[in-house]
Chains A and B, each alone.
Chain A
C-alpha cells in the first residue's frame, strides 16, 4: 500500500527541525534554503504550515519538462527528477502551484522531496507528529476520526 506524507498543521509548533534534518540528510549541511520542506509561518497570527511537494498524480512539473526528466515512481508514490536528463531550465519551478520544486544554487540543480526513499527524515524527527508517513487509506480515515471525536464530544453534551 502506498504511503503518503501527511501534514497536520494544527500539531506543528513551528520549530523547523524538519528543515534542518532534511538539508543535513540530503546535502550534509544545515541550511534551510537547501531543504525540501519549509515551515511557512504567519507570526502575527500564530499559524505554522509545513509545505512540501504534493507528489501529484498529474504533476504540472512533469507536464512542462522539455526533456522528460520528471517521472512518477509508482512504487513509492513520488515524483522524481532524473538529473542525467535535467537541463536546469526551471520551468518545473514555475509550473508547481505549491512551491514544491526548489532551486539549490550550491548544488546547481532543482530539488524536491524524494520521501527519503521511503523513510522520510523529517517524519522521523517531528516529535509533534505534525508530519506522518501513513498508508493512503489511513490518511483520510485518521482525519475523519479526529474530526469525529470533536463531533462526538459535542453530541455527548446534548445526549
Chain B
C-alpha cells in the first residue's frame, strides 16, 4: 500500500545499503516528498559542509500520492545542500521516474559519500545494487538512459541522471529523466557528479494498494474533469507554458536584455511558432494537461533533431533575456540544455548577464576568446551553452554561478546580476508586481518563481474570491487587494502559496493541476480527499497546512544554520533604482519601494511566527514540534 514504501540509506563510499520502513508517525508530520526530504536534509547534514564534498547528502523521493489516483501524480523531488547557494537545494521533476520508484518499493533514497569511480544505482522490486557506470560517464542525458536500459535488458526501466554538466560540476547542472523532465534549480546535478553517481535506474512490479478504490476512481474522474474544464488547461494543452509569454510580454512583465527592458518589443517568438515544428504533445504520468510539445528542429546545424518542450523558461533564456528574437534559437537552446543537463533558467540568465557585462566593457573580447556577446547574437548564445557545460574559457567562470563568477570577474559585475541568495531569477520582471517580488526575495532556495509565486495575483480576482481563498484553511482577516501593483495584503498571499506548494510537493502531484495557475483548481480541500481515498490517512485541510508549515520552517532552520540572515531576503538594487522603461501604463515606470518592501518582509515574518530577523520564535517551533530538531527520527 502507498504507506508501506521504504526508505533506503546508501553509502557510496563503502557500498553499504540499509533499508527501513517509514513510520506512520513521520508520515503524519511530513507526509512525504519534499516535506520529508527537508527533514532528512536538516537531520543528515552538519553545518558548513562542502556541497560538492562527500558529506553532502543527496535525497531522492516520490511524493506520498505518486502512482495513485491523484490525477497528475508523477513528481520526483531531489534535495541536497545546494552547490550554487549554500542553502536549501531542492528541485522537482515530472515524467515517469517517481511512479516506477514506488512500484519498486521505495519512497525515499538517502545517498551519502562518494563512489571511488563512476557508478549508477539499480533499484528493482525492493533490491538495490551499485553498478559500474564508467562506460556511460560522459554521455548525454538521453543516451545515458537508453544505454542503461539496453544494458539491463528492459525497455521499461526508468532512469534519472546527471548529464556532462553535472559531471563537470557546473554549479547549476540539473538532474533529469526522459527527454526533458528536469529537476532544474539549485545545482543538484553537480551534487550527483561530485558523488560519481551518474544515474539511478529503477524498475518496479510491486502493488501500491489503493485504500478505497471505488471512491478513489470516482474522485479522480471528478478532479480530471474539473481540470479539463478550465480555460487554463485548454490553453496549456495546446501551447504548453509558452502561452504565458503573450500576456506577460505585452504587459511588460518580462526581463529583456538582462534587466534593461521589461518587454521584447517587436518580438517574433510567440508560442504559435511551435506549430511549425511540432508533431504532437506528451504528458507525464496520469496527467491530462500534457503540456510539452514533441518537435523536430528544422533549421541550422541541429536540423532533424527531436526534442521536447520548450518551456516558457527557455523562451526567456534563449529569447528575451539575451535579446534574441529567433524561435529556432529557443528550440536549439532547449535541446542542448536537456542534453548537457543544465538548468535552462540559470544558463540563460548567466549568458544574459555576461552580455550586459560585455556591453559595458567589463568583459572584453579577450575574456570571451573573441566571441561577440552582443544582444541578439544567436550563434554566440548557443556557443556559450557549450562552453558553460564543458567549462571552457568564460564558460568555466559562468559555470560557478552568480556570486562566484562575479567574484572572479570583479569590477562592478555583481550589481548587474539578477539573483537572490546566489541563484538567478526567472525572466519575469517583478518591478511592477510587489507580491511576486516578495516571493522571489524570500523563497527558501533563492530566487524562485515556484516556491511561493502567487501567480493568480495577476488575474485581478475580486476581493470576495480572494477572501475565500486566503482565509482558508487558516484564518486571515487582514487586507487583500485585486490590484497586482499594490503592496497591501501581499505577504499573506505569498505565505499562503508557500504552504499550498509545499503541500503539493509532499504529495508529488503536478502544480499545473492545482491553484498555481488557476483559482478553480486543486487546493487543500481536494488534497484531503485525495489523501484519504488513496492512502486512508485522515487529515483536515488545517492539518495539511500544518505539515506544510512544519516542512517550510525546517527549510528556514536549515538556511539559518548555513548562515542565512534577513539581508538575504532582499532584492538587488536594480529593482529599487531602475524604473521599468516600457510596457503598458500599469507596468511602465515602475520600481519597487524600499520602505514598503521592508514592511512586507516584516509582515511576512510576522505571519510565519518569525522574529524581526526572520528567525522562528520559540513558540512557533514548539507549536510545530520543531523545538527539539534535529531529532534524528528517520
Contacts and interface: CB of A to CB of B under 8 A. Distances in A.
Judge: A and B partners, yes or no: yes
A75 B216 CA distance: 30
A24 interface: yes
Nearest to B307: A46
A16 B228 contact: no
B69 A21 contact: yes
Contacts of A34: 207
Contacts of B213: 24-25, 28
B217 A32 contact: no
Interface stretch (B18-26, B277-285, B478-486, B567-575): B277-285
B2 to A, nearest CB: 8
B205 interface: yes
A30 interface: yes
B58 interface: no
B551 interface: no
Given A44-B146, A46-B306, A10 B207 contact: no
A29 B208 contact: yes
B208 A30 contact: yes
A17 B286 contact: yes
Contacts of A43: 142, 146, 178-179
A13 interface: yes
B282 A14 contact: yes
B206 interface: yes
A46 B142 CA distance: 13
Interface stretch (A82-90, A123-131, A145-153): A123-131
A30 B282 contact: no
A132 interface: no
B224 A30 contact: no
B259 interface: no
A27 B207 contact: yes
B82 interface: no
Interface in B179-216: 179, 205-210, 213, 216
B287 interface: yes
B317 to A, nearest CB: 23
A46 B308 CA distance: 9
B283 A13 contact: yes
Interface in B330-379: none
B286 A33 contact: no
Contacts of B96: 16
Nearest to B209: A29
A79 interface: no
Interface residues on A, range: 20 to 34
A30 B306 CA distance: 32
A18 B283 CA distance: 13
A125 B283 CA distance: 14
A30 B68 contact: yes
A75 to B, nearest CB: 25
A43 B308 CA distance: 11
B210 A29 contact: yes
Given A24-B217, A127-B228, A127-B288, A14 B210 contact: no
A31 interface: yes
Nearest to A105: B205
A15 B205 contact: no
A46 B292 CA distance: 11
A14 B207 contact: no
Contact of B210 (A15, A30, A32, A44): A30
A44 B179 CA distance: 8
A83 B207 CA distance: 22
A127 B286 CA distance: 10
Given A16-B286, A46-B294, A127-B288, A29 B207 contact: yes
B207 A16 contact: no
Nearest to A125: B221
A59 B312 CA distance: 50
B306 A20 contact: no
Nearest to A21: B217
A15 B287 contact: yes
B121 to A, nearest CB: 21
A48 interface: yes
Contact of B282 (A10, A44, A48, A124): A48
Given A16-B286, A29-B210, A10 B280 contact: yes
A159 interface: no
A45 interface: yes
B290 A128 contact: yes
Nearest to B102: A30
B67 interface: yes
B268 to A, nearest CB: 26
Contacts of B103: 30-33
A54 interface: no
A46 B286 contact: no
Nearest to B224: A127
Nearest to B225: A127
A71 interface: no
A31 B208 contact: yes
Interface string B92-122: 0000100000010000000000000000000
A155 interface: no
A31 B205 contact: yes
Most chain A CB within a 10 A radius of its CB, from B210, B220, B224: B210
Contact of A30 (B69, B142, B281, B287): B69
B402 to A, nearest CB: 34
Most chain A CB within a 10 A radius of its CB, from B207, B216, B279: B207
Contacts of B282: 13-14, 46, 48
A121 B283 contact: no
A46 B293 CA distance: 10
A106 interface: yes
Interface in A1-50: 10, 13-17, 20-21, 24-25, 27-34, 43-46, 48
Most chain B CB within a 10 A radius of its CB, from A28, A34, A45, A127: A127
A125 B218 CA distance: 10
A20 to B, nearest CB: 6
B69 A20 contact: yes
Contacts of A27: 207
25 contacts: A13-B282, A14-B283, A16-B286, A20-B286, A21-B69, A21-B217, A24-B69, A24-B216, A24-B217, A28-B210, A28-B213, A29-B208, A30-B69, A30-B210, A33-B205, A43-B146, A43-B179, A46-B279, A46-B282, A46-B294, A46-B308, A106-B207, A124-B221, A125-B224, A128-B290
Given A13-B287, A30-B68, A121-B217, 17 more contacts: A13-B283, A13-B290, A14-B282, A15-B286, A15-B287, A16-B286, A17-B288, A20-B69, A21-B220, A24-B210, A25-B213, A28-B213, A44-B146, A46-B280, A46-B306, A106-B207, A127-B224
Interface of A: 10, 13-17, 20-21, 24-25, 27-34, 43-46, 48, 106, 121, 124-125, 127-128
Question: Which 10 A/B pairs are nearest by Cβ-Cβ distance?
Answer: A13-B290, A29-B207, A33-B205, A46-B294, A13-B283, A15-B283, A127-B288, A30-B208, A28-B213, A31-B207
